[in-house]
Amino acid sequence: MSLCVFKLDPSSNHLKELSRTSCNYTIKCLAYNEETGDLMAGGANCFITWKLTSQNIREPLRRSTTVCVLLRQNEWVYDIQLYRRTKLLFVVCDLGLHVIDYTSGQEAFYVPMGRNVSLTRSVFHKRNDYFITGFTDGSIRVWNCVVFCTMHTFHGHRRAITGLEVYGPEHLLFSASKDGTLRIWRLDTFELTQRVDLGEEVLGLGLIGKKQLYYNTSNEVKVWDLNMSHRLFCPVNSTVRKMLRVKQKGFPARILFAAEDGGVRIVSPASGTLLTMIYPMADLQVFTELVYRRRQDAVYAVHMSGTVMVFSGSSNPCSVSHCLKPSHPDTRVLCITDVILVAPLSDGAMREDAVIFAGHVDGQLSLLESDVVVMTPARMQAHSGEIRMLSAAPCSNGRDALLVSCATDNMMRIWHVAVATDRRVSLSCKHR
């Protein structure tokens, strides 16, 4: 076998042979290091290095001993990758992964593979200093190129990995496998975002620019348009139990995330920036009943004791400003909701008031908080069982609202909420 060096003739658009070097090995991959002028080749039980510079480009290449890789018996070299930031050379073999410091030529790390597992594909994610490898058992391993440790292992494919591509702008990893699937993984959260079942073995995968993806099977090559945008909006780092979008005229919108760790995050919907948060309670209470009054910048959260805790959203983290405690165990609050009502002021002007209704364990409804309107009597008997859910929405007239309540008496009631000229709130049952 021979190793040939060609030059492209721009006038004829043909390749012109410059030199030819004999080689007694089967070569599977090549890599060139411009810093050292080394041309490296790997193949069947061989790793060979030649010097290739502009001075000797027309002569047969001469061997170089700059980089030395000690291969095991019958070990094949499948791929050679350079990572110039850390001056490391990654030699991917079927029996293991050799990591070489190409400035000294010495082996820095060696990662052996299992008895029945071998490497098949590899790719870099330079933004995060990741080296990603695929294996014959379908697993994908993410390595840190600086300290060289395993960051994460993706599991999902059932057969050998045949293609790996990193989509850098959105921290995505595309993988293909002989199990007939394409998968898209996130490299910032290490989660699977999409799976595509193709029904036949996929033998290769690649990207065409930033807008197209191609894969090949034994019979055809298909090109797909990448028309889906993926971006991490906000890292919560815990399972989200409730998400609430808060919007009020005259104030920037906010999104509240109540997570399984007991914390509540307040996030900007425009940028995904974490603005402030409620730290988890000592009893690890998970808040799922939340109301955020934007004018007062206050978050109302129902504690499992029936107390409504009021947090100030103007500090980071949020601090408790006061608590609304039940006067009796039967008046414990189980759920809350808010709605915008339009009420008249003493000067005749109209003002929007973000009011909070509460559902109690004794089946009563109450007006928990308001700035303008009042409710007399303070509570009304709405159900014969515990009120477990409340939801409200403004009416089409822009002044009144509809309130939905569900209780353990197996009843759901819809209430019409109206505000009189004396700013008194009245609730009348419309449906049950």
Q: Nearest Cα to 180, choosing from 222, 210, 142, 208?
A: 222
Helix (H, G, I), strand (E, B) or coil at 151: strand
CA distance linking residue 405 with residue 387, whole number of Å: 7
Say if residue 191 is in the same domain as residue 115: yes
- 356-366: average pLDDT: 95
What pTM was estimated for this model as a whole? Answer: 0.56
CA distance linking residue 67 with residue 44, whole number of Å: 18
Neighbours of 409 (CB within 10 A): 14
DSSP state of 169: G
pLDDT tens track for 105-149: 888 888 787 677 878 888 888 888 888 988 889 999 998 887 778
Say if residue 268 is in the same domain as residue 384: yes
* Lowest-pLDDT range of 2-16, 120-134, 304-318: 2-16
pLDDT at 70: 76
CA distance linking residue 27 with residue 268, whole number of Å: 55
Say if residue 30 is in the same domain as residue 162: yes
Say if residue 358 is in the same domain as residue 218: no
pLDDT at 383: 95
Say if residue 8 is in the same domain as residue 156: yes
CA distance linking residue 403 with residue 337, whole number of Å: 9
Query: Within a domain: residue 232?
Result: no
- 70-85: average pLDDT: 82
At 255, is the pLDDT very low, low, confident or very high (cuts 50, 70, 90)? very high
Angle CA 383–385–386, to nearest 5: 105
Residue at which a domain ends, from 174, 199, 225: 225
419-426: Cβ within 8 A, 24+ apart: 419/341, 419/342, 419/343, 419/344, 419/373, 421/344, 423/343, 423/344, 423/372, 423/373, 423/374, 424/373, 424/374, 424/375, 424/376, 425/341, 425/355, 425/367, 425/370, 425/373, 425/374, 425/375
Say if residue 82 is in the same domain as residue 191: yes
CATH number of the structural domain spanning residue 283: 2.130.10.10
Say if residue 165 is in the same domain as residue 201: yes
pLDDT at 349: 83
DSSP state of 328: S
CA distance linking residue 398 with residue 352, whole number of Å: 10
End-to-end CA distance of the chain: 86
Q: What does the block give as tokens for 279?
A: 């730290």
How many distinct structural domains can be found in the chain?
2
Average pLDDT over the chain, rounded to whole? 87
Q: What does the block give as tokens for 398?
A: 């822009």
Q: Give CA torsion, residues 168, 172, 174, 179, to 10 deg.
A: 160
String of b and e for 257-289 (b: at least 16 CB within 10 Å)? bbbeebbbbbbeeeeeeeebbbebeeeeebbeb
Check: CB of residue 188 under 8 Å from CB of residue 232: yes
- 30-50: average pLDDT: 85
What is the extent of the structural domain holding 119?
Answer: 2-225
Q: How many residues does the chain have?
A: 432
Say if residue 188 is in the same domain as residue 316: no
Say if residue 124 is in the same domain as residue 71: yes
Query: Within a domain: residue 235?
Result: no
Query: Within a domain: residue 231?
Result: no
pLDDT at 169: 72
Say if residue 335 is in the same domain as residue 369: yes
Q: What is the CA 325 to chain-centroid distance, rounded?
A: 39
pLDDT tens track for 231-240: 678 888 788 8
CA distance linking residue 189 with residue 154, whole number of Å: 11
Say if residue 19 is in the same domain as residue 134: yes
